[in-house]
A and B are shown apart, each in its own frame.
Chain A
Amino acid sequence: MINTVEKIYNWENNFTNYKVTYDDGKISSVPLDEANTDYQAIQTWIADGGTVIDNPPE
């Protein structure tokens, strides 16, 4: 189960993937690929009211 979702930016300030922390403590990098089922799960989690942590580089 998803616990937190954070947007990850590269050093050129491009949003490249999500960092997801699950309830069991496992941390994964999820690509921005609509065919990826974890990406799909994040979109469902957001639609259900989940808030994505977004701290873009300044």
Chain B
Amino acid sequence: MAIDKITTASITDANITTAKLAYDAIPFRNIIINGDMSIAQRATSVSGITNASGDVFVNDRFCWAESGSMTSTFTMSQVTDVPTGQGFAKSLKLDCTATDTPATTERIRIETRFEGQNLQYLKKGTANAESWTISFWVKSVKTGTYIVNFLDEDNARMVSKAYTINSANTWEKKTMTIAPDTTGTFDNDNAHSLTVAWILSAGSSLQSGSLADVWQAYANANYAAGQVNFADSTSNEFYLTGVQLEAGTTASEFEFLPVDVNLDRCLRYYQKSYSYATAPGTNTTVGIVTTDGSAGGLTTGYLAGNIKFEKIMRAAPTLTFYEKGGDSGVCSRLQAGVARTDNQPIATESISDNNASIYSSGTANANSIDVQFEAKAEL
């Protein structure tokens, strides 16, 4: 190209768009963490999920959640069934294993949750609030209308968007844009400010109004109007991957991150001592934390130690300790080279976002603590 063809007009801001650039001009534009479902630290499958299970995680940052007392059950897995030719290697699969019909305000959904401090650039609640665009790949045995709900936890506001599964058991890409919300700012802190929920079942009281397809005050009636009941057949399977939420009115190409970067982001919310592929509670010494030996040598009394987390966590985490054999709430006491005694008491002196001070008041003669752990600071 001749130099005189490059004019000032041709390089004005309006003519230079992300789509025309050969690289990702806006790194970390995807607000969703682990949107490609590549990370699953806890397990690759959990079965028997019921209303008593609480939040259940397989793929990091995405949890199964239920409100009410539905009797349906599910298996959630990280699987390799993905849309062809899109670059994805893993997806989240939810398999209905026992059916039920949701009553009144009962609901089942897959959720991902966000800290307010990561959302400030969206300028929600101001005159300059951004539009948002969400895109994802989805496959379901059950066709029909499904809802994605965005819940502003700080201001009890929501917007719900409908999408249609057109063909059974076929990967489809869905894209939806949400108009700006000039009401209700997100708190600028590490607390839970936003939930994005893929609704799977919703009771009649959640569908009796008109779908809240623009931001509005939370109202049950407008939460999920039109939603099919995914829990109505044990043949039902739901798959999700390639989830991206970004500022603006168009969906850009999915932002693939290196696996180490993706995992690093997940560690802010969940860590464990076990190796990546080992589920907590496994009988193993691989990854076990051994505290520095007691300064006083062997003792049947107190032993103390320290666990330094791999990355500063969102908040002081809930710690679950496991002795070598896999029982929780206890540790092993180690006499190095001689004996390891399992099922010994363990407690915490303190827990912070980057460190835990632990001690064992057990009776087994030992000079250090052997313990596995998982640390959870989810939203």
Q: How far is the CA of A3 from the CA of B302 in the complex (A)?
A: 28
Would B318 and A29 count as touching, CB distance under 8 A?
yes
Interface residues of B in 280-326 (CB under 8 A from A): 302, 314-321
Q: How far is the CA of A3 from the CA of B321 in the complex (A)?
A: 18
Closest B residue to A8 by beta carbon equals B347
Interface residues of B in 327-365 (CB under 8 A from A): 328-330, 347-352, 359
Partner of B319, one of A11, A21, A28: A28
Chain B contact-residue range equals 20 to 34
Would A8 and B318 count as touching, CB distance under 8 A?
no
Q: How far is the CA of A37 from the CA of B348 in the complex (A)?
A: 18
Would A11 and B52 count as touching, CB distance under 8 A?
no
Q: B11-19, B86-94, B143-151, B371-379: which lies at the A interface?
A: B371-379
Would A29 and B52 count as touching, CB distance under 8 A?
no
Partner of A31, one of B54, B191, B351, B378: B351
Would B378 and A29 count as touching, CB distance under 8 A?
no
Would A26 and B317 count as touching, CB distance under 8 A?
no
Would B329 and A23 count as touching, CB distance under 8 A?
no
Partner of B190, one of A1, A23, A35: A35
* Chain B residues with CB below 8 A from A25, complex form: 328
Would A37 and B317 count as touching, CB distance under 8 A?
no
Q: How far is the CA of A16 from the CA of B52 in the complex (A)?
A: 28
Q: How far is the CA of A17 from the CA of B348 in the complex (A)?
A: 7
Would B379 and A37 count as touching, CB distance under 8 A?
yes
* Chain A residues with CB below 8 A from B54, complex form: 1
A55 lies within 8 A of chain B by Cβ = no
Nearest Cβ in chain A — how far from B97, in angstroms? Answer: 18
Would B351 and A29 count as touching, CB distance under 8 A?
yes
* Chain B residues with CB below 8 A from A19, complex form: 329, 347
A sample of 9 cross-chain residue pairs with beta-carbon separation below 8 angstroms, ordered by A number, consists of A16-B348, A17-B347, A17-B351, A26-B329, A29-B319, A31-B317, A31-B348, A36-B316, A36-B317
Q: How far is the CA of A11 from the CA of B345 in the complex (A)?
A: 14
Chain A interface residue count, CB cutoff 8 Å, equals 23
B157 lies within 8 A of chain A by Cβ = no
B173 lies within 8 A of chain A by Cβ = no
Nearest Cβ in chain B — how far from A30, in angstroms? Answer: 5
Would B316 and A33 count as touching, CB distance under 8 A?
yes
Chain A, residues 12-52, CB within 8 Å of chain B (1/0): the string is 00001101010101111111110111110000000000000
Would B328 and A29 count as touching, CB distance under 8 A?
no
- A-B pairs, 7 with minimum CB distance: A27-B329, A35-B315, A31-B316, A33-B316, A31-B351, A38-B318, A28-B320
* Chain A residues with CB below 8 A from B348, complex form: 8, 16-17, 29, 31
Would A16 and B350 count as touching, CB distance under 8 A?
yes
B174 lies within 8 A of chain A by Cβ = no
Nearest Cβ in chain B — how far from A21, in angstroms? Answer: 7
Would B318 and A35 count as touching, CB distance under 8 A?
no
Would B329 and A36 count as touching, CB distance under 8 A?
no
Interface centre among B189, B328, B379 (most CB of A within 10 A): B328
Partner of A37, one of B347, B359, B378: B378
Would A27 and B328 count as touching, CB distance under 8 A?
yes
* Chain B residues with CB below 8 A from A23, complex form: 52
* Chain A residues with CB below 8 A from B314, complex form: 35
Would A36 and B318 count as touching, CB distance under 8 A?
yes
* Chain B residues with CB below 8 A from A29, complex form: 318-321, 347-348, 351
Given contacts A8-B347, A16-B349, A31-B316, 18 further A-B contacts (CB under 8 A): A1-B52, A16-B347, A16-B348, A19-B347, A23-B52, A25-B328, A26-B320, A27-B328, A28-B319, A29-B320, A29-B321, A31-B351, A31-B352, A33-B316, A35-B191, A35-B316, A36-B318, A37-B192
Closest B residue to A28 by beta carbon equals B320
Q: With A16-B350, A17-B348, A36-B377 known to touch, is A30 a contact of B318 (CB < 8 Å)?
A: yes
Q: How far is the CA of A11 from the CA of B350 in the complex (A)?
A: 12
